[in-house]
Amino acid sequence: MKKLMFPILLVAVFAISLSAQPAGQTPVANTLASQTVEQFGKDMDVAIVEWNKRIAGVIEKYDLLNTRDIRILPYQSNYDLGDGYIEIERHTFIKDPAGRRTAFGYKQIQGIVLKRIKIYTDGKNISKIETDVQEKFFNDRPINRIIIVDSSPTTDGTDNITFTHIHKGRTLVDNKKLADIKNQADSPIRNNLKRDFLIPNLNLCYYALSFIGEAYYSSLRDGDRYMENILKNAISGE
């Protein structure tokens, strides 16, 4: 499955990070590794802010906050326009890991992963982005729910992004700032979250909004062309 499933990714990040740094390195090597980790984190901060600005740009370009008759959406997506916000919901299915199939030959579906991205905007700038990821199986409450809030998406730095992780109704991480998440050379969890979720998540959001805006205006152009042809034919008698 190409789409990211964040709760599974989080577990994988811990496992990979704990084994990432070879044992027995010298203090100098550790210092250089730490500096590399720190610089990599700063580079990704720049990328995150840039993607947020691109999202703001596409909202302004297509005037999405004032466009209320969107009909064409990316596959497995929902779109909601509210008072001062735009929300995109995407879903992926959790398939039977044993590979069991239905009577029609399709892989059995055990659950669903929902990802909602809520962008607070005035139509030109964005003031906050909330991402809500829920992993749940059918006929059961969500197994995992992770809420990520960026309250300053277009300002430098990502330290104030917060994470809340709820597992089976129990809060495991409560509004924890990204700056407080471990990011040592032997366990760069903070960097992994930026690289493996935050940046790809914004990338998908940007392209989804671009698709929605372009599809909408293409439909308007097609409608105008259809009207033009009708009127031309009315004059020519064809």
Percent of the chain at pLDDT exceeding 90: 52
**194 closest CA partner among 79, 47, 92:** 47
Residue 114 · residue 133 · CB < 8 Å:
yes
Q: Where are the domains of the chain?
A: 6-231
- Which stretches within 4-86 are classed as H helix? 6-18, 27-61
Output the average pLDDT for the chain. Answer: 82
- The per-residue pLDDT for range 170-223, each reduced to its tens digit, is 999 999 999 999 998 888 999 999 999 999 999 999 999 999 998 888 876 665
- The per-residue pLDDT for range 124-162, each reduced to its tens digit, is 999 999 999 999 887 676 789 999 999 999 998 899 999
**pTM of the predicted protein model:** 0.76
Rounded to 5 degrees, what are φ and ψ at 43? -60, -40
Q: How many CB atoms lie within 10 A of CB 132?
A: 17
pLDDT at 17 over 50: no
Residue 133 · residue 149 · CB < 8 Å:
no
Which position has the higher pLDDT, 111 or 105?
111
Placement of tokens 């109704």 in the chain: 169
